[in-house]
Amino acid sequence: MRIDPKTIENVSKELYIRALKILPPDVKRGFDTLAAKETSSTAQNVLGTMIKNISIAEATENLLCQDTGIPIYNVTIGRGVQFGEGDGTALKAALRKGCERATREHPLRSSIVHPLTRKNEHTSCGIGVPVIYIDHADAAEGVTVEMIPKGSGSENNSWLKMALPAEGVDAIKTFVVDCVLDAGGKTCPPTIIGVGIGGTADLCVHLAKIAATRALGTQCADPEGAKLETELSEAVNMLGVGPQGLGGDSTAFAVHVELAATHITMNPVAVNMQCHSARRASATITDAGVTYGF
């Protein structure tokens, strides 16, 4: 299968706009679930305001949040896929061009600046941005592109601890709870709390990001990880942080966990959060055309 880089560029542009304007159905269902269980009248009012904001934004085709975030593209490539006459470099260039076009042509606020000079090119791009992860899957047909705009309200609340193996799972639980308390209302809860466990320091943080941006209702593939998700989800919603940090039962939609094997003398654990506007959009490109989803 040969895919024209221009198709990738157009998909990249469309996904950025879609992700900023349309909240995934699983997150909307998550709001309904929390609202039905919430016992605090203040928290119920805050959740109601959030739900109304989502409805108005979508009805008027406005952004769900003014923060357009750091653009992240996750690409999964099936067997036998080629990109025009080029290779992976053509794919990356097309994704970047689409991201730039979305920002300039829509237009969107560019949130991306040089880390030292703070200069903004007004393209939502810069050194190493958009962030692009490329994976391959034998079973995949064509190419799937997922776009996640990760806002600073959530990304600023990220932590890594190189825990001692002897401290066991209790140390992981304590660390996650401490992180949720430290974040308070700064991540605009209710949140999706991503927890990465294992690997190296950098892999562990990446796993936490994958966990935080996973769809609600999904589970960790590892049974011990899935068990920990349930335990932590219950624990954090007993902390009383509540929507926007104003108190209540609805601190998090869920805690998601992703695991990797690690060294016998290490047990890294990372936490990365996604705010209540848990935005993402995806597209699958096959010979039949482009299919958009979440």
Read off the tokens for 266: 């290490």
Distance CA 155, CA 151 (A): 6
Calculate what percentage of the chain has a pLDDT beyond 70.
99
Q: Are residues 146 and 181 in the same domain?
A: no
Q: Are residues 199 and 209 in the same domain?
A: yes
What are the distances in angstroms from CA 7 to CA 2, 99, 279? 11, 13, 22
Give yes or no for a contact between 102 and 124, defined as CB atoms under 8 angstroms apart: yes
What CATH number does residue 121 fall under?
A: 3.30.1330
Q: Are residues 113 and 140 in the same domain?
A: yes
Q: Are residues 161 and 261 in the same domain?
A: yes
What residue type is 274 in one-letter code?
Q
Burial label, 122 (beta-carbon count in 10 A; 0-12, 13-18, 19+)? middle
Q: Are residues 202 and 117 in the same domain?
A: no
What are the distances in angstroms from CA 51 to CA 44, 46, 245? 10, 9, 17
- The mean predicted confidence, pLDDT, of the chain is 95
Q: How many domains does the chain have?
A: 2
User: Residue 139 falls within a domain, yes or no?
Assistant: yes
Query: 108-130 pLDDT, tens per residue?
Result: 999 999 999 999 999 999 999 99
Q: Are residues 183 and 129 in the same domain?
A: no
Look at residue 85 and tell me whether its pLDDT is greater than 80. no
Please report which confidence band the pLDDT of residue 153 belongs to, taking 50, 70 and 90 as the band edges.
confident
Q: What is the mean pLDDT of residues 230-236?
A: 98
Please report which confidence band the pLDDT of residue 63 belongs to, taking 50, 70 and 90 as the band edges.
very high
User: Residue 267 falls within a domain, yes or no?
Assistant: yes
Query: 178-201 pLDDT, tens per residue?
Result: 999 999 999 999 999 999 999 999
Question: Helix 88-105 to helix 5-21 angle, to the nearest 10 degrees?
Answer: 40
pLDDT at 89: 83
Q: Are residues 188 and 287 in the same domain?
A: no
Q: Are residues 233 and 283 in the same domain?
A: no
Distance CA 162, CA 171 (A): 11
Q: Are residues 171 and 134 in the same domain?
A: no
* Full domain range(s) for residue 95: 2-19+64-151+278-293
Calculate what percentage of the chain has a pLDDT beyond 90.
92
Give yes or no for a contact between 154 and 213, defined as CB atoms under 8 angstroms apart: no
Global confidence as pTM = 0.94
Distance CA 260, CA 269 (A): 10
Q: Are residues 176 and 82 in the same domain?
A: no
Q: Are residues 119 and 6 in the same domain?
A: yes
Look at residue 55 and tell me whether its pLDDT is greater than 80. yes
Look at residue 283 and tell me whether its pLDDT is greater than 90. yes
User: Residue 88 falls within a domain, yes or no?
Assistant: yes
Distance CA 129, CA 280 (A): 17
Look at residue 244 and tell me whether its pLDDT is greater than 80. yes
